[in-house]
Amino acid sequence: MAGKGPQSQPECSRVAITALSIFELLQRFEEGGAQRVSDLHLKVGDPPTYRIDGRIKQLDCAPLDNRAVEAAAAALLSRDDLRRLREDHSLDGSYTSDKFQFRLNFFYDENGLAVAIRALDLAIPAVEDVGFANQVWRDIITRQQGLVLITGVTGAGKSTTIASLLDRILHERPCHVITLEDPIEYRLHASTGVVSQRDVGRDVPSFERGLRDCLREDPDVIFVGEMRDRESAAWTLTAAETGHLVLSTLHTRDARGTITRLLDMFPPEKQDEVANQLALGLAYVITQKLVPRADGRGRVVAMEILHNDYAVSNLIRTRKLEQLYTQMQTKVRNISGERMMTMERSLALLVARGMVTAAEAEKWANDHQCFVDELRRVRR
């Protein structure tokens, strides 16, 4: 299978994945770059399928059979992992090449085994190159405590954003960073401090256990790969309350939805208590989307930013979440203490800079009329 550019449709008359050819498929990430060629799907009954610039594209090949996908699994997993996959019928894992860290998810559907492969560059991008809508990252990396949530749908670049923040913290502050990940994605290195990356399932049995343990391990900064359930959310909030800077992720589409999602993890009789915890411990909610560029070459980040100042804290405590959007609309100056932004304003600014077309930005807006109003403002 000869390699071509990321937008080409290579020809092949037959696919028979072996230990060699699966690595040829992974080679295509290097040809296009992980910022453009982000995912590979191997599924019985379909040809190998990539996600390029956010869009699904199948190779012009024969459909895979179960033997081919099983061969890919055998090439990428250890014997112990293969045994766990057959016992549990799903498995998260990772594989590292010379240039990429691959996040692997194996699962079964009605046709047989399937594999979803996500590519991450080994090199962590500089925080200035991530695409922050303003200089809010400067406030985050100097914080000593509080909870910073990076949210968005799957594939929105949350892991890359957090890795860039942690990398800058480790190079500017002598501190101890502990991460709890499933699996470890970016490999961090400290210039003057210490970093301990723990793989949930290998180094620690669960996020809850890891959080409970790390509070006794003298951390300054804690990264929780994802708040998946009530227990991990409760311990994450506790860590933020006890004087640590805590970063984590959630799958939500906006700042208000993030607060609602956290509250809904708990029973009704606990939600007032959790609202008080968030009002005191939350620092920022940053929701991001990856939007196709106007020139068709990759995607650019659009960000919604909620800063938990006194007014926002009061709205969270009293659970008047419908008023959060107004705060993000008004406190938009790029100065410490404000630096808020709605998703609609972020998209409008990208349009005004010529980075995204208005038609494309409109598709990604949470509120159509608010986007139209913001576009009118920034153009004026």
Local structure of residue 146 (DSSP, 8 states): E
pLDDT of residue 223: 97
Report the alpha-carbon distance of residue 204 to residue 192 in Å, rounded. Answer: 26
Q: Given the structure tokens 């993000």, which residue do they identify?
A: 328
Indicate the domain borders of the chain: 19-121, 127-341
Report the alpha-carbon distance of residue 86 to residue 91 in Å, rounded. Answer: 9
Report the alpha-carbon distance of residue 36 to residue 34 in Å, rounded. Answer: 5
Report the alpha-carbon distance of residue 37 to residue 35 in Å, rounded. Answer: 6
> What pLDDT, in 10s, does the model give residues 337-366?
999 999 999 999 999 999 999 999 999 999
pLDDT of residue 330: 95
Q: In this structure, which topology does domain 127-341 adopt according to CATH? A: Rossmann fold (3.40.50)
Query: Which phi and psi (to 5°) does residue 297 adopt?
Result: -110, 80
Report the chain's mean pLDDT, rounded to a whole number. Answer: 90
Pairing of strands 245-250, 146-151: parallel
Any residues with CB less than 8 A from the CB of 303 and at least 6 apart, and which? 131, 132, 133, 286, 287, 288, 341, 343, 346
Give yes or no for a contact between 256 and 322, defined as CB atoms under 8 angstroms apart: yes
Query: Which phi and psi (to 5°) does residue 137 adopt?
Result: -60, -30
CATH number of 19-121: 3.30.450.90
For 35-42, what is the mean pLDDT?
Answer: 89
- The sheet that has 245-250: what strands, in order across it? 194-199, 176-181, 221-224, 245-250, 146-151, 282-292, 299-307
**% of the chain with per-residue pLDDT over 90:** 73
Bridge partners, 179 (sequence order):
197, 223
Report the alpha-carbon distance of residue 82 to residue 276 in Å, rounded. Answer: 45
Q: Given the structure tokens 């290097």, which residue do they identify?
A: 30
> What pLDDT, in 10s, does the model give residues 235-285?
999 999 889 999 999 999 999 999 999 999 999 999 999 999 999 999 999
pLDDT of residue 8: 40
Query: Higher-confidence residue: 9 or 28?
Result: 28
For 298-315, what is the mean pLDDT?
Answer: 96
pLDDT of residue 41: 96
Report the alpha-carbon distance of residue 350 to residue 368 in Å, rounded. Answer: 16
pLDDT of residue 2: 33
pLDDT of residue 54: 86
**% of the chain with per-residue pLDDT over 70:** 95
pLDDT at 28 over 60: yes
Q: Which among 206, 26, 248, 41 has a CA at the least distance from the CA of 120? A: 26
pTM for the predicted model, two decimal places: 0.86
For residue 361, which amino acid is it? A
Local structure of residue 97 (DSSP, 8 states): -
pLDDT at 24 over 90: no
pLDDT of residue 19: 44
> What pLDDT, in 10s, does the model give residues 180-221?
998 888 999 988 889 999 998 889 998 889 999 998 999 999
Distances from the Cα of 39 to the Cαs of 36, 117, 119, 129, 190, in angstroms? 9, 5, 6, 21, 29
pLDDT of residue 9: 40
pLDDT of residue 5: 38
Give yes or no for a contact between 133 and 140, defined as CB atoms under 8 angstroms apart: no
Report the alpha-carbon distance of residue 335 to residue 173 in Å, rounded. Answer: 22
> What pLDDT, in 10s, does the model give residues 97-144?
888 889 999 999 999 999 999 998 888 999 999 999 999 999 999 999
